[in-house]
Amino acid sequence: MLCLPRHRSIRRILLGSLKTTIFALVVIFGVVPIIFRYTYPIQRSLIFLNFVNYPALTQFQTPQKYGLKGTRNFHITTDESIRLGIWHVLPSKFHNSSEIEEEGFFLTALGSGDPVVVYMHGNSGSRASTHRIELYQLLSNLGYHVIAFDYRSYGDSTNESPSEQGVVSDSLFVLSWTVERVKGAPLFVWGHSLGTSVSSHSLDILSQKGLHPTGLILEAPFNNMRDEIREHPLARVFRFLPWFDFCFADSVGENNLLFETDKHLRNIRSRVLILHAEDDKIIPFKLAKKLYESTVQGRSPHFGKVKFVKFEGKWGHGHKWICRSPDLPNVIRYLFILYTLT
């Protein structure tokens, strides 16, 4: 009889723990999915990650502090009154010019016939993120102009809530600004991660206007947002739920966050180069392969060729660091020259 109070105490603890566990499971697997489905601002924030600012307190007006030589910081304002922050990185052959501080020098150089890359970054950070700067430096050393900009709500651009249509609109404005100034020089568009879908969507729209850049480079792409959500590491804990698609995959599409790269690539005449690392943990390699296969099968044979370059997982490039691959310069030299001459 003396043991009964102790047994009752243990029973109460176990019952309390069970109730807490059940409550936590209901919240995690029931409430969280419902909140995600019906809260567009949460969907938008998790896709764009525009609230993640790094490096902190970036001084965009002095890009040389981040190791960029021959770089001009400036802004342009779109037809929607969105002010976009831009860096123009010159080819390295111009870095020692005595006129490099003059705005006119940059504009003249941009129209000198050297190839130009317009870079569209992925989510989070800004045009000053380390892996992005390393790519600009590489392209500059290979003889390319780089036009790198921040979409609305990123960097020092206007703090307007992003949407797929909004960032595509910003990208189209930058592309139009660039096309007017390059005077027929080879023009490439390079997108990374989320920027691969933004760039594909933008070029789809341009193609409908009869404008076809020399080439489109997609670094760490996915085929569409629906599949990316299913495969994302954060989704694994929810993927077994019968209501997963209803709450997660379907809901973003209903809010026009489609990012259908596979659909857009079918309409783009430009040559396409896909780069992806096998050890990418953010966007699985298989999604890039799926994108490549659907593009090859779905595009007109009269359109530019599609090339896929795999970076082996043993090198540890992951999602962001293909820019550090010793093979990348040769890939760029060979394919960019091929795209320019054929």
**Residues paired with residue 96 on neighbouring β-strands, in sequence order:** none
Report whether pLDDT(4) > 60: no
- Give the pLDDT confidence score for residue 1 in this predicted structure: 47
Q: Which residues of 142-157 are buried (b: 16+ CB within 10 A; e: fewer)?
A: bebbbbbbbbbbbbbb
pLDDT exceeds 70 at position 6: no
Question: pLDDT band for position 342 (50/70/90)?
Answer: low
pLDDT, position 71: 96
In 3-state terms the chain splits into helix, strand, coil percentages (rounded to 5) of: 50, 15, 35
pLDDT band at residue 300 using 50, 70 and 90 as cut-offs: very high
Active site residues: 193, 280, 319
List 155's β-bridge partners, or say none: none
Confidence grade of residue 97 (pLDDT, cut at 50, 70, 90): confident
User: What is the per-residue pLDDT for 18?
Assistant: 76
Helix axes 194-208, 164-182, angle to 10 degrees: 60
pLDDT at 25 over 80: no
Chain center to CA of 301: 27
Q: Tell me if residue 233 falls in helix, strand or coil.
A: helix
- DSSP designation for 324: G
Rounded Cα–Cα distance for residues 200 and 185 (Å): 20
- Angle at which helices 103-110 and 164-182 pack, to 10 degrees? 90
Summarize the confidence of residues 303-331 as an average pLDDT. 97
145-149 and 187-192 beta bridge pairing: unpaired
Average pLDDT for 157-163: 98
Question: Mean pLDDT, the chain, as a whole number?
Answer: 93
Of all helices (H) and strands (E), which one includes residue 148?
strand 145-149
Does pLDDT of 21 surpass 90? no
Higher per-residue confidence, 30 vs 122: 122
Q: Per-residue pLDDT for 12 more than 90?
A: no
- Alpha-helical (H) ranges within 156-273 are 164-182, 194-208, 225-231, 244, 250-254, 261-265
Q: Taking residues 204-220, what's their average pLDDT?
A: 97
Helix (H, G, I), strand (E, B) or coil at 333: helix
Q: Are strands 187-192 and 215-219 parallel, antiparallel or unpaired?
A: parallel
Q: Which residue has the higher pLDDT, 90 or 95?
A: 90
> Is the backbone peptide bond immediately before 5 cis, with ω within 30 degrees of 0?
no
Encode burial over 315-336: b for 16+ CB neighbours within 10 A, e otherwise: bebbbbbbbebeebeebbeebb
User: Mean per-residue pLDDT for 119-134?
Assistant: 98
Lowest mean pLDDT, pick from 130-134, 233-237, 279-283, 327-331: 233-237
Does the pLDDT at position 130 exceed 60? yes
Write out pLDDT tens, residues 231-249.
Answer: 998 888 899 999 999 999 9
Please give the domain boundaries of the chain with CATH numbers for all domains: 6-341 (3.40.50.1820)
pTM: 0.92
